[in-house]
Amino acid sequence: MDSSLATHLVTENGRRSLQRFLEPLLGLAGVQTDPLGPFMVDGEEYFLPRLTFRGPNSSDPIRIGLFAAIHGDEPAGAVAAATFLRELAQEPALAENFHVQIYPICNPTGFEDNTRYSRKGRDLNREFWRASVEAEVQILERELRSSHFSGIIQLHADDTSEGIYGFVRGHTLTENLLRPALREAGQILPRNINATIDGFAARDGIIYDHYDGVLAAPAQIEPAPFEIILETPHRAPLDLQVRALVVALRVILSEYRRLVAFAANI
């Protein structure tokens, strides 16, 4: 594993350390840190980290929400979100016209324990918009209601897939964002082009259905955001998963900016 990636996943007392994960991100140029919470788990206080980057020329910004590690045993998404945030800080033009809110660890106890589920034994990504009592879900639902995102991107890993793929929903332009993102990410990891992926019908690595209860925009929200879920092959080397996800994120922002500019000129 690349040493710069390993720093994000150091452990303390047999657990991954949230503090050590976040340390390299604090103080980055242009990055605001505003954790959400607190909430209690087994007598310990937790927060959901939220880091915000506002790109140049964003007086009326395009708001993007980037969510990772809602399954705690999928670290590539968390590391990719952190890596992408570093790239934005180093190259702000990547986020021109954008206000990017990054939630790199949506399941902090699962991340610490390296488990899919929260420490309460819940798969948080089956709890959304179902009157969940889980604090992490309630916090994120408030964010999804109030942040008025133009786009929502989730980062996941699939241990049954040999290639990268994605889910689309919401905005009619979503497929036009995911397709070029998968094409570029496919230069780093193979694309899963099976007709059935994760139990769903798929075409060219794109699934148009979804599981009930996944993190998503509220129903009937207007205007509807584009929603993309990127899935890397969990068994692939971590550095390749991270590189593929970061490339895909760069493409999605670039393509969406281009499509918005095109629509404005029609």
| Overall number of domains in the chain | 1
Q: What is the mean pLDDT of residues 111-117?
A: 97
Does a structural domain hold residue 209? Answer: no
Does a structural domain hold residue 149? Answer: yes
Q: What percentage of the chain carries pLDDT values higher than 70?
A: 95
DSSP state of 204: T
CATH of the domain at 182: 3.40.630.10
Among 43, 160, 42, 35, residue whose Cα is nearest residue 106? 35
Q: Does residue 5 register a pLDDT over 90?
A: no
10 Å CB burial of residue 161 (0-12, 13-18, 19+) is buried
Does a structural domain hold residue 215? Answer: no
Does a structural domain hold residue 176? Answer: yes
Does a structural domain hold residue 207? Answer: no
Q: Which domain holds residue 173?
A: 3-194+221-264
Q: What is the mean pLDDT of residues 209-225?
A: 92
What pLDDT, in 10s, does the model give residues 235-247? 999 999 999 999 9
Does a structural domain hold residue 216? Answer: no
The predicted pLDDT at position 124 comes to 98
Taking the CB of residue 28, how many other CB atoms lie within 10 A of it? Answer: 17
Does a structural domain hold residue 245? Answer: yes
Spatial separation of the C-alpha atoms in residues 82 and 159, rounded to whole Å:
22
Residue 213: CA atoms inside 13 Å, Cβ hemisphere, count? Answer: 12
Q: What is the DSSP string of 29-58?
A: TTEEE--EEEEEETTEEEEE--EEEE-SS-
Q: Does residue 31 register a pLDDT over 90?
A: yes
Confidence of residue 261 (pLDDT cuts 50, 70, 90): confident
Does a structural domain hold residue 155? Answer: yes
